[in-house]
Structure 1
């Protein structure tokens, strides 16, 4: 009887989670559309105004693992109430802002609250769904992510055509509609909050924050600070009886390998998000508003196929979904390498393979990693996965930006014939080869080890 109630609660929660994820992703990406307007209003450079997005992602990445750990100790319903309340508070600050510093403060407070949402997305499928049906749950949550990605730029463009850009801060207020349902259906037993290692958590947060600052500013001082705090963090978790992250978590070979593969795959897949607008803008000469529309088909198809991918994982196993996702992503990179720059709408169609494949990869890896975690460490374990995905994306963006800035002196794909897109063609070809390397690594390590345990 208790198991049936748990399953019913899980079905309700995963749909509410998909809605919350869609709103949070929209809120994270909408401001990219209005950065030029903010820069013009406050007389700022592009590098200065970019902190509206950079600061959000920095706090978002740190907050995800913090909420994940707290969820192993406190009731998730209370953390969600706190996080969504902060999300709304940040919205109110932004809506009333008259100075750029207040706009930035609003985004930081928003991120501090919004970080509870990806943490929750990693925890609910683990706690409320058995391994044999977890894939479908992850597929539903991925539908929310994809819908948010598809609707974010389009909704932002529609809103700012009718109202001032500050109204974009109002979007997160919709997440408060989900709070009563979370309070009703989330039912957990809290852990022992008295033994929480706050110092260890602070050292980890400082390490990640300085790492992202070092990447964004390309400066040595925050990089040195990051190394110092990381050394102190490692010493801390090895010297206290109840550390923020238990060292034995990383002694699980399958968990560590899963994180490594997810980190690499996310970094490669981030090229689809980062390079696509650059290519369409600078090579195909597409207006910014149309760039957002060109990215909608891929996100829409990804949302439509999310549940099917989850069901495939449940029926055939997460390795089958991983191989299918890898095949789609590799095919996408090869097609983009061959036809980059020729047609914006052809590019939009080819991007569907990559977006769908990347979502399948994320579902497969999340499913595989979740099965390596003990229940009492599910929150921090999945939070670390989400945090590493953010760090991987930040590093990848820096690398791709430098490569594009340097250009290309030769063309490596003999089938590509658009000189203006040579650097993109070369990048996509290299990424296809790297993805095949990840596929081989997965087969040699994760999949072979899984088979040996059966």
Structure 2
């Protein structure tokens, strides 16, 4: 059975989209909820900060690499089989975490969770491209808005549930994903295994290289940078010699593909940097509690959740290129305003944050839409897998880089002439840096795609 022969009816499509959005919410919240539980976990096991940070580091590392691996596997194996395996492993890891009696057992649980949970975002973007491409813009918008919404509410839910009960009960959220499995297996179309060869050695080398760079940015230990360079060099040699390498050089030679994932990387880097900085700033400058910090972020997250589908519809009507440009303008304008309003009031920050937050789902949905148009059918899985990998790496990079910048002492002068100095100057300057990153992405994307056009849905379906 070829992909072209697979038909998904309107009713089945609606059910499938709803279910994918639901389990994606659980998967994303599982990552963000544990951010606020780190102090409790550290206290429970009596371990230093450097050790407890591995609860997040191990999860991000395995999750990011897994997103690429599952994307590649989706080019050959059925999405139904891969999601079944992933959700079972995700829930098994959560069960182990719920009853963990040692920190080592907790880390194993988080790694299992990440290894299974990585299937959800990886395949969530492949499903619309493969099964209902005529509505991919709208569905990409819904998926991206789900990610934005879940990223915002995850810390709130984690703070409330962890404070009311215990950090252990955060794992219950992941176990609930098992309830969706029978419906996924019923509504996902059946696919035959496709012929082809998977370069597992190349995959292992690339995975080791990515692990090295992620470990470097999260620990700042130079041995991991050396690990990245060595494994990436060996991977390059393997790619040149293999008949069917894990990542085909033609994929990266496609300038539209390469610039699109770089644009997404920079845009997401700005957004995750923003979401990393906001809690630190509001705690230091306004002395807000964890719940109050969540309430500062919540308006932007909820609005992004509602507007994501609208962005997808706009991409279908007018082409995704327009939406990418609009997303980067929103992010740049929002971060510029935050640079000026840093230190004014928590209410002002919450209102201005909404502007930047609008760009979050728009940048992800529109770039994914473009990728599905510029990739060959047999490259969709690994191409979108690389897209997901870069987005996860953006989160790790932005947190590490801006976290180090915020530790600089004695900064009292703001580079933004409209901002006040003093304690808020360092935050104002970092927001200004995020603005410049967004503007650079905008210029790069606009120049590369100046003559590129994806036909809007109205032209593809003139009836």
TM-score, normalised via structure 2 length: 0.93
Name the residue aligned to 2:439.
436
Residue in structure 1 matching 2:372, options 349, 370, 384 = 370
Residue in structure 2 matching 1:113, options 94, 116, 134 = 116
Name the residue aligned to 1:276.
278
CA distance in 2, matches of 1:105, 1:4: 40
Q: Is contact 2:320–2:454 with CA below 8 Å preserved after alignment?
A: no
Name the residue aligned to 1:330.
332
Deviates further, 238-247 or 430-439: 430-439
Name the residue aligned to 1:266.
268
Question: For 1:283, what is the secondary structure of its paired residue?
Answer: helix
The aligned runs of 1:9-408 (5 Å cut-off) are 9-130=12-133, 132-187=134-189, 188-192=191-195, 195-407=197-409, 408=411
The alignment yields a C-alpha RMSD, in angstroms, of 2.0
Distance 1:410 1:151, change over 3 A: closer
Per-residue CA deviation, residues 286-313 of structure 1 (Å, 9 max, x unaligned), is 1222112221111111101111111111
Question: For 1:5, what is the secondary structure of its paired residue?
Answer: coil
CA distance in 2, matches of 1:23, 1:2: 32
Q: Is contact 1:298–1:348 with CA below 8 Å preserved after alignment?
A: yes
Distance 1:259 1:172, change over 3 A: same
TM-superposed CA distance for 1:53, in Å, is 1.0
Question: For 1:406, what is the secondary structure of its paired residue?
Answer: coil
TM-score, normalised via structure 1 length: 0.95
CA distance in 1, matches of 2:37, 2:253: 45
CA distance in 2, matches of 1:50, 1:170: 21
Per-residue CA deviation, residues 111-141 of structure 1 (Å, 9 max, x unaligned), is 11000011112201210222x5311011111
Q: Is contact 2:97–2:168 with CA below 8 Å preserved after alignment?
A: yes
CA distance in 2, matches of 1:451, 1:103: 46
TM-superposed CA distance for 1:409, in Å, is 4.6
Which consecutive residues of structure 1, in runs of 5 or more, have no partner in the other structure?
Answer: none
TM-superposed CA distance for 1:418, in Å, is 4.5
Distance 1:141 1:451, change over 3 A: closer
Q: Which runs of 4+ in 1 moved over 3 A?
A: 1-11, 449-452
Per-residue CA deviation, residues 397-422 of structure 1 (Å, 9 max, x unaligned), is 22211221114252211211252110
Distance 1:392 1:147, change over 3 A: closer
TM-superposed CA distance for 1:430, in Å, is 2.8
Q: Is contact 2:30–2:173 with CA below 8 Å preserved after alignment?
A: yes
Question: For 1:417, what is the secondary structure of its paired residue?
Answer: coil
Do structure 1's residue 5 and structure 2's residue 5 form an aligned pair?
Answer: no
Question: For 1:161, what is the secondary structure of its paired residue?
Answer: helix
Q: Is contact 1:258–1:446 with CA below 8 Å preserved after alignment?
A: no
Question: For 2:125, what is the secondary structure of its paired residue?
Answer: helix
CA distance in 1, matches of 2:372, 2:5: 23
Q: Is contact 1:214–1:222 with CA below 8 Å preserved after alignment?
A: yes
Aligned residue pairs total: 451
Per-residue CA deviation, residues 244-283 of structure 1 (Å, 9 max, x unaligned), is 1222212222111212222222222222111111111112
Q: Is contact 1:6–1:128 with CA below 8 Å preserved after alignment?
A: no
Q: Is contact 1:272–1:355 with CA below 8 Å preserved after alignment?
A: no
TM-superposed CA distance for 1:439, in Å, is 1.3
CA distance in 1, matches of 2:353, 2:127: 30
